[in-house]
Structure 1
Amino acid sequence: MEALIRHPSIDQVRVVIGEGQDGHAREALDGLAVGDLIIGGAERSNSVLNGLHAIGEGAVLVHDAARPFCPPEVVERLLAALEQADGSVPVLPVADTLASGGQFLEAPVDRRNLFRVQTPRPSTWRT
């Protein structure tokens, strides 16, 4: 949170929390400039949608607590990408060997064009 709050290109930070978690969240966020807390949904994608509805218009970066150490360079690349597209997500190349098949594995899957997307499933973000 502090890294995003201090980032010069971030105007405000808002926090989406699980239902019934507001007491614990307020304690953990005490002293941080995060505005009013937003109540999330049953799944992460529902929480993102609730946050987007609460925030309204403008560029929004979604960060989940599962990946707490987002470097400033990633924020800068995401913001730069939003100047040319309606959305952007941080990705990492797939390093593991992948294979398809059932009981017996078939040939390895070509992973050159596969990436791990580090955010909730975008297809559920329709408003």
Structure 2
Amino acid sequence: MTDASRVSGLTAIVPAAGIGSRMGADCPKQYLQLAGKTILEHTLERLLSHPAIAQVIVALAPHDRWFEALPVAADPRIVRVEGGAERAFSVLNGLHVAQGKWVLVHDAARPCLTHGDLDALIAAAMNCGGAILGSRVRDTMKRSDGEGNIIATVEREQLWHALTPQM
């Protein structure tokens, strides 16, 4: 397995253009406070603190009025791009300015990323040409008929929840 600690120059893209309409809050969920900072600040600081990440591209909504006030916005390793109407367009806009050969994409509202998980992701990507973080499904999974009627229990042994980052 590749030693992830020897990898450098990675670019992280953080789609942060969502408006969080389902939450019904006064601001998008990435700007909600958690332990004295916004969720987005925690996420960006976690990525920037990893030695392999040289650049973080943040895709922001065109009307975003919160990001510039964050202390982390002044970090020279952060590049801002306009986000799209959907996550895929925000990622694409980030890819247009990415400098590294390797890019990872991480959700703005997922601040609990560990360096151990990043190391494992990087090592797997270097060995396989790409990787994704995931966790095994633990809950019972049911298949329905489309009308709300349960028709089967799905075996979960080979099911995984897809997480971010993806590289």
Same fold flag (TM > 0.5): yes
Question: Which of the residues 108, 115, 120 maps onto 2:160?
Answer: 115
| Cα pair distance change 1:120/1:104, threshold 3 Å | farther
- Percent identical residues: 35
Greater strand fraction, Structure 1 or Structure 2: 2
Which consecutive unaligned segments of at least 5 residues does structure 1 have? 123-127
Give the C-alpha shift of residue 120 in structure 1: 9.1
Q: Given that residues 93 and 114 in structure 1 are in contact (C-alpha distance below 8 angstroms), is that contact kept between their aligned partners in structure 2?
A: yes
Select the structure with the greater relative contact order (CA < 8 A; seq sep ≥ 6): 2
**Residue identity in the other structure for 1:117:** A
Give how far 1:94 is off. 1.1
Name the amino acid aligned to 1:100: R
In 1, the alpha carbon distance for the partners of 2:92 and 2:128 equals: 19
> Unpaired segments of 5 or more residues in structure 2?
1-43
Where do 1:44-123 residues align within 5 Å? 44-102=87-145, 103-119=148-164
Q: Taking structure 1 as the reference length, what is the TM-score of the superposition?
A: 0.82
What SS does structure 2 have at the residue aligned with 1:3?
helix
Aligned residues: 121
Amino acid at match of 1:64: D
Read off the aligned partner of 1:26 and give its amino acid letter.
Answer: E
For residues 52 and 30 of structure 1, the distance between their equivalents in structure 2, rounded to whole angstroms, comes to 19
Measure, in 2, the Cα distance between the counterparts of 1:45 and 1:37. Answer: 16
- Which of 56, 66, 69 aligns to 1:24? It is 66
